[in-house]
RNA sequence: GCCGGAAUGGCGGAACUGGUAGACGCGCCGGACUCAAAAUCCGGUGCUGGCGACAGCGUGAGGGUUCGAGUCCCUCUUCCGGCACCA
């Protein structure tokens, strides 16, 4: 492709980032440098960063995410790949409704304005994005395919209706998101939140549980940590489903429980059921105290984190059931620690070998019967010890005595099966995905409720079910449910009057397949087309670690749903995953005389240091002392956010990008420091000044040998290339600094060594700071040496170290005595072991520590060290 | 509570596969330039002792394996992420 002709850039004396960034961006724009097309002749590289929620302005987390992605995209482009790097908007969601309520602006308008602002910001950062593929999930041309797929899943039974539990605000008469529940109360009303069961649509992700789990093994490009979290989340456990018979109103019934510890069955001394269990409901009808307890359990929010920290409480249900093996009667309790949503909503309690049951039994004086020989003995005296839960041989268990874990489980399961009271079963922690939201700003669920035909999916020809965009929610439920024009419709099957579903989809649905749609965002006739088969899977996905479970698991699930619709072949959407850490900043406050706590922005804080540079005090500009409150995520409430725009305005995009890459490896948290940003700016200025001086006639004296300089530059490059392969970009930025240091020490004019070194430096650095490298490459006319690149450093080949430059005649070896460093020796590269030992022993400082002692052993690590053991 | 991480100078971080701890940068100290300041440039900088060559100590705490541990194993502490309706 021809590069657009522009006047040859001259190198000004001063680094002016705003001017050169404008120029570089104009160059890329007119050359359409980042547009990607399908090209089967080249290896493709689909590089994707998680798309942002258009919250208003870009925040530092976005800048970090997209800078990391951009470095990867540009690097792979220079290595010859056909790179796709798209961008779009996760545009449905709760914040738009909150903003709408606060400002009386429809979410649609607010969202679209935010997209405009953030898109301009992304452009100013110079990311190599193919904007021709931009999409927004609130666009009917996008969400129509959510709806289309949903109707397919509904017909297959993979989408279905059942009741689910939600947070209910009794004052606003509305469903609350978990984040809208603060200390058990509604955020706007302050009313205690209640649990409420409502009908919802679910996606049958459990049908894919086995595959989602097994396929984790085939994801070598994912961090182990994320795979482990997903594995635990899916939570496959093999156990026994078994029944305790009981009689209710002279009717014979079975209380089913699931256990992974069937070997402890003979120690089951009671059973416990969830407050939502039918037995609890029955007991509540007979006994007002139980009714009150069940009510108490139903109060509060639905968050598992909160439930898990509740004090374990229970009440006897006034019922007993029969132990399936021993035939003894055991009591049934209603307990708040049993979850209706997991397993059978009931458990057999073995207090001797389960910590929760142990605590519960001791609290309520229930029998504790040890049945396993554990490392701490045969008895289980209080307090609880973790050993009690370990595997061991059965005791006090009649015919099962002496059997180890697996044999006991097998024998007990066989006996239960013979009685028709149980069998082995696989149990999953993973639950089906409830996607219904009683909210306005989301994708409408394409179902019509007909009094005669039931729930009928909207016909393809009627899709999309358009979301009216003019509404402003008021916090009292979904405005769609108050809009007859929306919900009044006719049945797709019988044409009689019917009511349209007014719930919208979880926004996780939108984000579970957007990555595939980028391949063909303009395709109006299908969800995906053959271009998706070219680009998918994503070769590199980059995003926050906070998405390690839900978003990534749902996306893996959707990829399979699309595969099973015949839309794609591959099962896994993301071949390689990079989880980036959060961006943190210091926070400072002072308490006002009125007793208010004011948070002071870190940029307004002056610190006082001691002679060593350690911070001893901090104050505001006006002298008010402030308290350092530690380091944490950037947030409005602590007034410690750094605005990317201000940073770009002051230093330019390249400094922002360089700092973000340099400050920390991508997977770590990044702790913000304005002073370090200055350092990054300083480096780019130094690079500029070095190049500007090279341009001037009259080379300076060479004061460093060329061979040593080349060795240094090529060694650094070798390490940098290794670091790039490990995605450790902070040391690549360091490498660029080291190369500039070496060139400055060499201090020649334009000659073979500086020319080579600088071309390496500009290419190595260009993915991180593309604007300044683009400009310097053109100004210094490196296109003459790299005709294939011409004026565009991005088209230059990636630099590789020259093996000849890495050769050395001598190497330095460290000499240790008993593992302690005592000196070093220089030896010829090919020196043999006796020669090395001789030189090591001859070192005078080494002699001091070996003198008069016998050397028992000599360890020689080639190229590294000699260790003399005395 | 459960699941998953992290911890190295005054600060961010580096250290290959168990082999010189502190690369690179920030900050700080000293110097050059300047009427002065900013900017820039040069030198120093883990802690303790010593004029010094050097020595002792040192990677959150405690133990272990090894010729040798920031790195491997065990126990613990603190901080961070997720927990299904924030995205």
Spanning CA of A723 to C1' of B70, the rounded length in angstroms is 19
Neighbours of A783 (CB within 10 A): 18
Q: Of all protein residues, which has its CA closest to the C1' atom of B10? A: A614
pLDDT along chain A (870 residues), means of 10: 45 89 96 95 96 92 95 96 97 94 94 96 96 97 98 97 92 92 90 91 97 94 92 92 90 92 93 90 91 86 82 88 93 88 86 88 90 84 81 90 92 94 92 95 97 96 95 92 95 95 97 98 96 97 92 98 97 96 82 80 77 73 78 76 88 96 92 89 94 67 72 94 93 96 84 91 97 95 90 94 89 88 86 86 85 84 87
| Burial class for A18, CB neighbours closer than 10 Å (0-12, 13-18, 19+) | middle
Spanning CA of A821 to C1' of B20, the rounded length in angstroms is 7
Q: Of all protein residues, which has its CA closest to the C1' atom of B55? A: A822
Spanning CA of A848 to C1' of B48, the rounded length in angstroms is 23
Residues A57, A121 contacting (CB under 8 angstroms): yes
Residues A508, A548 contacting (CB under 8 angstroms): no
Alpha helices in A726-831 (DSSP H): 729-746, 752-765, 770-779, 803-806
CA atoms of A738 and A659, how far apart (whole Å):
16
SS3 state at A432: coil
CA atoms of A647 and A656, how far apart (whole Å):
7
Task: Please give the pLDDT value at position A697.
Answer: 52
SS3 state at A73: helix
Residues A435, A558 contacting (CB under 8 angstroms): no
Q: Of all protein residues, which has its CA closest to the C1' atom of B25? A: A679
Q: Of all protein residues, which has its CA closest to the C1' atom of B15? A: A731
Spanning CA of A669 to C1' of B7, the rounded length in angstroms is 12
Q: What are phi and psi of A433, to 5 degrees?
A: -95, 110
Q: How many helices (H) and strands (E) does chain A have?
A: 27, 35
Cis peptide bond prior to A285, omega within 30° of 0: no
Task: Please give the pLDDT value at position A700.
Answer: 47
Reference A203, options A512, A425, A493; nearest CA is A512
Spanning CA of A821 to C1' of B68, the rounded length in angstroms is 11
Nucleotide with the nearest C1' to A206 CA: B84
Task: Please give the pLDDT value at position A459.
Answer: 96
Distances (CA, A) of A766 to A199, A335, A693: 54, 62, 20
Residues A681, A657 contacting (CB under 8 angstroms): no
Nucleotide with the nearest C1' to A167 CA: B85
Q: Are strands A236-248 and A422-428 parallel, antiparallel or unpaired?
A: antiparallel
CA atoms of A754 and A756, how far apart (whole Å):
5
Nucleotide with the nearest C1' to A863 CA: B19
CA atoms of A423 and A414, how far apart (whole Å):
7
pTM of the shown model: 0.93
DSSP state of A665: -
SS3 state at A748: coil
Nucleotide with the nearest C1' to A224 CA: B4
Q: What's the distance, CA A378 to chain centroid? A: 45
Reference A607, options A597, A598, A617, A599; nearest CA is A617
Spanning CA of A634 to C1' of B36, the rounded length in angstroms is 40
Residues A195, A176 contacting (CB under 8 angstroms): no
CA atoms of A579 and A545, how far apart (whole Å):
5
SS3 state at A600: strand
Task: Please give the pLDDT value at position A392.
Answer: 87
Task: Please give the pLDDT value at position A50.
Answer: 96
Cis peptide bond prior to A803, omega within 30° of 0: no
Residues A584, A633 contacting (CB under 8 angstroms): yes
Task: Please give the pLDDT value at position A326.
Answer: 92
Q: Could you give the ipTM of this predicted complex?
A: 0.95
Reference A140, options A442, A437, A434; nearest CA is A442
CA atoms of A129 and A73, how far apart (whole Å):
9
Q: What's the distance, CA A403 to chain centroid? A: 44
Cα first-last separation, chain A: 68
Spanning CA of A854 to C1' of B75, the rounded length in angstroms is 38
State the helix-helix crossing angle for A644-651 and A60-78, rounded to 10 degrees. Answer: 60
Residues A742, A713 contacting (CB under 8 angstroms): yes
Nucleotides of B under 7 A from a protein CB: 1-5, 10-16, 19-21, 23-29, 39-42, 47, 54-56, 67-69, 80-87
Residues A499, A432 contacting (CB under 8 angstroms): no
- Consecutive H or E run containing A586: strand A583-591
CA atoms of A96 and A442, how far apart (whole Å):
10
CA atoms of A801 and A242, how far apart (whole Å):
66
Nucleotide with the nearest C1' to A503 CA: B85
Reference A92, options A440, A400, A610; nearest CA is A440
Spanning CA of A857 to C1' of B61, the rounded length in angstroms is 34
Spanning CA of A843 to C1' of B62, the rounded length in angstroms is 38
Q: Of all protein residues, which has its CA closest to the C1' atom of B28? A: A613
Distances (CA, A) of A618 to A608, A613, A627, A854: 6, 13, 7, 58
CA atoms of A542 and A845, how far apart (whole Å):
52
SS3 state at A355: helix
């Amino acid at each position: 492709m021809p590069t657009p002709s522009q006047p040859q850039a001259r190198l000004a004396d001063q680094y002016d980032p705003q001017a050169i960034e404008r120029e570089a961006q104009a160059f890329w724009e007119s050359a359409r440098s980042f547009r990607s097309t399908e090209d089967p002749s080249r290896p493709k590289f689909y590089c994707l960063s998680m798309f942002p929620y258009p919250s208003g302005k870009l925040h530092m987390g976005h800048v970090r995410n997209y800078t990391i992605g951009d470095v990867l995209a540009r690097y792979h482009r220079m290595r010859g790949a056909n790179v796709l790097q798209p961008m779009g908007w996760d545009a449905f969601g709760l914040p738009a409704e909150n903003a709408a309520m606060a400002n009386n602006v429809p979410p649609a308008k607010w969202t679209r304005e935010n997209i405009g602002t953030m898109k301009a910001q992304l452009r100013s950062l110079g990311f190599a994005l193919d904007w021709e593929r931009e999409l927004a999930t609130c666009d009917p041309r996008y969400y129509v395919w959510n709806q289309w797929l949903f109707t397919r899943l509904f017909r297959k039974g993979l989408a279905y209706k059942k009741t689910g539990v939600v947070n209910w605000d009794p004052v606003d008469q509305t469903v609350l998101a978990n984040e809208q529940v603060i200390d058990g109360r509604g955020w706007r009303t302050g009313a205690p939140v209640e649990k409420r069961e409502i009908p919802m649509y679910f996606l049958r992700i459990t049908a894919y549980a086995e595959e989602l789990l097994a396929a984790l093994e085939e994801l070598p490009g994912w961090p182990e940590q994320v795979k482990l979290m997903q594995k635990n989340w899916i939570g496959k456990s093999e156990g026994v489903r078994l029944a305790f018979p009981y009689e209710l109103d002279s009717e014979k019934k079975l209380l089913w429980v699931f256990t992974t510890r069937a070997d402890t069955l003979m120690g089951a001394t009671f059973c416990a059921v969830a407050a939502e269990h039918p037995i609890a409901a029955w007991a509540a009808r007979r006994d007002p105290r139980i009714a009150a307890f069940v009510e108490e359990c139903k109060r509060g929010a639905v968050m598992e984190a909160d439930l898990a920290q509740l004090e374990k409480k229970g009440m006897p249900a006034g019922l007993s059931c029969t132990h399936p093996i021993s035939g003894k009667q055991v009591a049934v309790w209603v307990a708040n620690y049993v979850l209706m949503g997991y397993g059978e909503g009931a458990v057999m309690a073995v207090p001797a070998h389960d910590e929760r049951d142990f605590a519960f039994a001791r609290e309520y004086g229930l029998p504790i019967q040890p049945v396993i020989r554990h490392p701490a003995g045969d008895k289980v005296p209080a307090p609880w010890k973790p050993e009690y839960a370990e595997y061991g041989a059965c005791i006090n268990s009649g015919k099962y005595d002496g059997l180890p874990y697996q044999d006991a489980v097998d024998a007990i399961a066989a006996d239960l099966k013979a009685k028709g009271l149980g069998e082995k079963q696989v149990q999953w922690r993973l639950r089906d995905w409830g996607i219904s939201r009683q909210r306005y700003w989301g994708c409408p669920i394409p179902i019509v409720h007909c009094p005669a035909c039931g729930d009928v999916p909207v016909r393809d020809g009627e899709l999309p079910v358009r979301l009216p965009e003019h509404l402003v929610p008021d916090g009292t439920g979904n405005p769609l449910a108050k809009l007859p024009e929306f919900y009044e419709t006719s049945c797709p099957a019988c044409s009689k009057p019917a009511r349209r579903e007014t719930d919208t989809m979880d926004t996780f649905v939108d984000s579970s397949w957007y990555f595939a749609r980028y391949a063909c965002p303009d395709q109006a006739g299908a969800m995906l087309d053959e271009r998706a088969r070219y680009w998918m899977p994503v070769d590199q996905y980059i995003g926050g670690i906070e998405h390690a479970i839900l978003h990534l698991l749902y996306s893996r699930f959707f990829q399979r749903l699309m595969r099973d619709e015949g839309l794609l072949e591959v099962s896994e959407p993301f071949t390689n995953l990079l989880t980036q850490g959060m961006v943190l900043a210091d926070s400072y406050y002072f308490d006002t005389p009125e007793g208010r706590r004011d948070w002071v922005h870190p940029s307004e804080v002056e610190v006082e240091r001691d002679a060593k540079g350690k911070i001893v005090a901090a104050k505001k500009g006006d002298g008010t002392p402030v308290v350092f409150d530690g380091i944490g995520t950037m947030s409005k409430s602590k007034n410690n956010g750094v605005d990317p725009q201000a940073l770009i305005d002051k230093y330019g995009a390249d400094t922002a990008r360089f700092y973000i890459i340099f400050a920390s490896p991508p997977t770590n948290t990044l702790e913000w420091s304005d002073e370090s940003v200055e350092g990054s700016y300083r480096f780019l200025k130094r690079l500029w000044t070095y190049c500007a001086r090279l341009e001037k006639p009259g080379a300076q004296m060479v004061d460093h040998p060329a061979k040593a300089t080349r060795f240094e530059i090529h060694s650094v490059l070798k390490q940098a290339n290794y670091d790039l392969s490990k995605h450790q970009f902070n040391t690549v930025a360091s490498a660029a600094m080291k190369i500039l240091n070496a060139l400055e020490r060499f201090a020649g004019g334009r000659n073979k060594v500086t020319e080579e070194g600088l071309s390496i430096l500009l290419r190595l650095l260009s993915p991180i700071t593309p604007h300044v490298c683009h400009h310097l490459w053109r100004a210094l006319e490196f296109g003459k040496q790299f005709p294939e690149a011409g004026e565009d450093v991005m088209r230059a080949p990636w630099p590789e170290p020259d093996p000849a430059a890495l050769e050395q005649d001598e190497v330095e070896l460290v000499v240790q005595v008993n593992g302690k460093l005592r000196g070093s020796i220089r030896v010829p590269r090919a020196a043999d072991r006796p020669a090395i030992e001789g030189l090591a022993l001859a070192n005078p400082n080494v002699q001091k520590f070996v003198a008069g002692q016998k050397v028992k052993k000599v360890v020689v690590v080639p190229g590294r060290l000699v260790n003399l053991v005395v």
